[in-house]
Structure formats: structure tokens, C-alpha cells
Amino acid sequence: MKKIIALALAAVLFSVTLTGCSSNTAGNNGNSNAPKPSDTLIYAQGAEPRGLDPALVDDGESAKVMSNIYEGLLKYNKDSTKVEPSLAKSWDVSTDGLTYTFHLQEGVKFQDGTDFNADAVKFNIDRQLPPKVTEDMAYASFVYGSVKSVEVVDKNTVKINLTAPSTPFLSNLAMIMAAPIVSPKALQDNKNNVNQAPVGTGPYKFVKWDKDQDIVLVRNDAYWGTKALTKNVIFKFIKDNSARVVALNNGEADIIDGIDATVVKQITDAGNKIFQAPGMNINYMAYNTSRKPFNDQKVRVAVSQAINVPELVQSLYKGYSEPANSILPTFMEGYDKSISQVAYDSTAAAKTLKDAGVTSLHMIAYTNPRPYNAATGQVLAEAIQGYLAKVGVKVTIDSFDWTTYKQKVKAGDYDIAFYGWIGDNGDPDNFMYLLSIDDPTMNIARYKNPQFNDLIAKGLKTAAGADRNAVYTQLEKIAAADAAWLPISHAQTLCAYRPGVQNFYFHMTGITPFAGVSKK
């Protein structure tokens, strides 16, 4: 098997040479086109991206790749969600909070050779505003929902006008979803969908995508900023956790994600290293509140009572996740330690469920690991199936690969589904709005509460500080009482890498920038 994988890898590297590299993109080790080990980073992840158009995807697998191809007006600091300049070198905000003027970097080119300028910024935002926005642009309303209009002042200055003040607006513009700037020419050439043909301004260019195999990127040697250290980056798709560990330990992958506590010793015993950091995420179970039996809050509470969350989290994650007492991570503004979820009480659960006539439920789950759930949705579902059997409820589980699972979630044919969220921007609204948005691929509980929605709107307009934090604490309390979700855990970020890899990090927003990464 190892020989087969090695031969496949050699074929991939040869393809990179033919497809993406020429003599003017040779590495620092000489002018030869043949990739050397230090010329290529191989990152193995558990699932394939849904696409590579930042306006049309909403998943972490896509984000990791896109963060190397695209840039937005702003970016996050390496170690936090503090906003820093990117394609915008500076900005001004009007005193009423309704107008943002961005001063753009000059001389920047897209990877297709066309100019980045104010017209490109307007083109990208306008495609995600009415009347052009489409229903498959999941993040458009989140990032640009408060935008009234975009004005080109001159080629290096763009003005964005809002309908109402929005405290998280600048943070939103640094996100990897919706906010990155795509080449207008590429969008026009590809009928407003560059999922298979991404073109940005970033440090890496797209080369090819072999479905179910890998995505290959090559260094953008015309990049306007500091050039990437490593010539080629390959994102390989290895669904099985143990197979990814074998690939790392055999030297067939340089970095892997989606690992859990059960493989840490195996990885370190082989001389490899663990990247570990607090995660800005939530792993949860959602009830379909749009239909029986979970349109009844009492039934939702009863099922939550049947599950011993602390015991479950310790059993599955072995100390690499903490039980979630709230939706918000504990370090985020708006978190309050007084918030608590439905407490474990199997006796009360059994009585309520029997009285309500609930004897069977249908769950759907995903089969691959996720950054917030390295155990996979299927394993989590099976554990909860066991708890519910103890209170007299038979559970049927249907499991799917991630892409199919997203479609099943959208269709809504389930009683219970499993999901999670990695914070996009460090703002509490980014978590809590998931229970207010109409999009069923994000609000998978299909929860509707006018009081909750009014507070979401209030939080957006309230200036940062104690008053705003109080809004999100109140939202947490409503969500806990209504029990549309059962929050399960906040996962630590765990990745593993070969000892020769230098300066790798997995950002708290779930992206993997490789421009500064190298290997010996």
C-alpha cells in the first residue's frame, strides 16, 4: 500500500511540474522544474471542498484552500481576530457609522493578469446584493446585509454605504466566506461561478482539482506582497482518520488535520509533532423545530435530558474538547458563566417522552471528521442513540459523506441532525445569528423566534461594550431555555505535522495560510 501511495504522489508531483511550474517559478534550490521535497507541502484533510468560490460555499474544507488563493480588503492577525490591512491599506468610518471609505493597495494584479481596483471591489460586493444575489450565496446576507450601496470614488478608493450601523462590519470583511475579492474577468468568463476555476490576488494560484483525490496550488510569483516560501501546495483528501495518520508517519503527507485523542501517541511516537490550540467553535445536535415531535419545546428538553453531555464528551474526546455550557466559546464577548444548558435527568426524560408518545426518531449524520468533532458525526450519533435507547426511544441513523450531508440538511428530512460552527470573525453575532437566519443550511434547527430575532438586530447596532455583551448573554439564555440545540462541546484545534515543517499554524477561524510555511 505504501508503495502504491508513493507512486501516486510521484505522479501528482510530476503533474504539478507539467501543469503549474515553468522555469520562472523554480524554487530557491535551482532552476530545475522537477519538484524537490522542500518544494512541496502536502496537507491531508478528511473531506473534499464543496467549491472554491467564496460567495458560493460555506464549509471549512473549502476555506482552507481558498485562504491561499484569495484575499479580502482586510485580514485577521495571525494570533487573533483583530482586523489588519490587506487589499485595503487604510480606511475611514463616518461619525454616524454609515459610510466606510477604503483606500486600496496600488499596483495589485489578479492571478489572471487583470487589475485589482475599486471597480473589482464594487463588482464583488454588488454580485452579493439584491437584485443580483442568489439563494446559494449563504454568507451574502451575513457579510453584506447592512450594505446599501457601493461607490467607486477613484480607481484606488471605494466607499461602502450602510443602511444602519453594524458593529461587526469590519470584522466581516476579513472573513474567508463572501468577503474575498475574485477576479471580475474570471467571474464573467465562468458565468458567475468560479468554484472550479478560482482566481484571486493571493500568494498561491490554482492549478488543478482531481475529484476525490487532491487540489494542487502553485506559488504566485507575481504576488504583490511577500512571496510564498514553498512552491507547491497539495491538498489531499483522505477520508479515513487512521489512513491520514499512516500517510503522515510514512512521510506521504506533511500535515494532517481531523485527528483525535486516540492517535496522538501514535503520531508523536513516530517523531511527528502536534499543533494544539483553543478552538473558536461549537459542536452541537439540532432538533428540527419545524415539524413534530420537535415543534414542542418540552420534547426537545426531554431528549436533551436523556443525554449525559459531560460523560459523552469525556468518552469521545478524551480531554481534547470541553463540554459546552453555552453556544459561545468561553473566551468570547457575551459569554456568561451563569448560562447552563438542559441538565441530565434520564428519569424525567423517559416520562416526558413516553407521555408525548415519542418512541422513534430519525437522525442524519456525517461520516468525516470535522474541526469541531474529530470523532465524526456518525460516531457522535451512535453514542446518542445509546442514551436514547435507555429512555425507550429507538433511533434510526442515516450517514452520508459531507457533500451529500449538506444536501440532506437542506432538504430537511430529519428529526435530529449534527453540525458545528467555527467562528468566522471573533464576534458573538457570528455564532448566535445561526438561530435566526432563514437559510436552512445554516439554521438547521429551522428555529423561529421573533424575540430572538429582534435581539439579534439590536446586537448588530449596539456599540462594543457591556451593553452589547448583555444582548448576547440574553440570546444565550433564550436559546438554552428553548433547547433548539443541544450544545455538546468546544473542541481544541488539533493538527499534526512532520518535524521538518516550519511555521505552520491553523488559525482560529479555521483557515490554513501556507505562504509563510516551509519545510526542511
pLDDT at 488 over 50: yes
Q: Grid coordinates representing 275?
A: 499543533
Domain count, the chain: 3
Asked if residues 119 and 184 have their Cβ atoms less than 8 Å apart, the reply is: yes
Residue 191 lies in a domain: no
Where residue 321 falls among pLDDT bands split at 50, 70, 90?
very high
Does 381 reside within a domain? yes
Same domain assignment for residues 84 and 105: yes
**Looking at residue 433, which CATH number applies to its domain?**
3.10.105.10
For the residues 482-511, what does the mean pLDDT come to? Answer: 96
Grade residue 223 by pLDDT with cuts at 50, 70 and 90. very high
Nine cell digits for residue 26: 523554480
Q: What pLDDT, in 10s, does the model give residues 450-461?
A: 999 999 999 999
The verdict on 173 and 215 lying in the same domain is: no
Q: How far is CA 493 from CA 316, 348, 369, in A?
A: 15, 35, 12
Question: Any idea which residue has 472550479 for its cell?
Answer: 196
Residue numbers of the domain that contains 336: 281-491
**447 plus 424 within the same structural domain:** yes
Residues 326 and 436 placed together within one structural domain of the fold: yes
> Do residues 143 and 18 both lie within one domain?
no
Does 122 share its domain with 146? yes
pLDDT at 241: 87
The alpha carbon of residue 471 and the mean position of all alpha carbons in its chain are separated, in whole angstroms, by 25
Cis preceding linkage at 293, omega within 30: yes
Q: In whole numbers, what is the pLDDT of the chain averaged over residues?
A: 92
| Cβ pair 230, 207 in contact under 8 A | no
327 or 10, higher pLDDT = 327
Does position 249 have pLDDT exceeding 90, yes or no? yes
At 418-453, the pLDDT tens digits run: 999 999 999 999 999 999 999 999 999 999 999 999
**Mean local confidence (pLDDT), 211-228:** 97
Rounded to whole angstroms, the Cα distance separating 168 from 40 reads 37
Task: Decide if pLDDT at 495 tops 90.
Answer: yes
**What does the block give as the cell for 267?**
503520531
Closest C-alpha among 513, 449, 506, 510 to residue 475: 449
pLDDT band (50, 70, 90) for residue 35 = low
Residue 21 Cα distances to 8, 187, 196, 205, angstroms: 19, 24, 20, 11
Amino acid sitting at position 191: K
Reported confidence tier of residue 30, pLDDT bands at 50, 70, 90: very low
Half-sphere exposure in the Cβ direction for 389 (13 Å, CA): 9
Q: Is residue 308 part of a domain?
A: yes
- 325 and 337 both lie in a single domain: yes
Q: What pLDDT was estimated at residue 261?
A: 86
Same domain, 42 and 87: no
pLDDT for res 154: 98
Provide the grid cell at 109. 494584479
In the prediction, which pLDDT does 371 show?
Answer: 86
59: domain CATH number is 3.40.190.10
Residue 267 lies in a domain: no
pLDDT for residue 505 is more than 90: yes
Question: Among 415, 420, 410, 421, which Cα is nearest to 398's?
Answer: 415
Residues 486 and 421 grouped into a single domain: yes
CATH number of the domain that residue 121 is part of? 3.90.76.10
CB 485 within 8 A of CB 289: no
Within a domain: 15: yes
Residues 90, 12: one domain?
A: no
| Model pLDDT, residue 36 | 57
Q: Count other C-beta atoms under 10 Å from residue 45's C-beta.
A: 27
Is 70 exceeded by the pLDDT of residue 22? Answer: no
Identify whether the C-beta of residue 240 lies closer than 8 Å to the C-beta of residue 219.
no
For the chain, percent of residues with pLDDT exceeding 70: 93
Q: What is the pLDDT of residue 260?
A: 85
Q: Are 150 and 121 in contact (CB under 8 A)?
A: yes
Residue 369: its pLDDT value, please?
87
Does residue 266 fall inside a structural domain?
Answer: no
Q: Verify that 469 and 388 share a domain, yes or no.
A: yes
| Mean pLDDT value of segment 124-128 | 98
Q: Is residue 197 part of a domain?
A: no
DSSP 430: H
**Which residues, in sequence order, are CB contacts of 113 under 8 Å at separation 6+?**
none
340 plus 392 within the same structural domain: yes
Q: pLDDT per residue over 51-110, tens digit each?
A: 999 999 999 999 999 999 999 999 999 999 999 999 999 999 999 999 999 999 999 999
* pLDDT per residue as tens digits for the range 181-209: 999 999 999 999 999 999 999 999 999 99
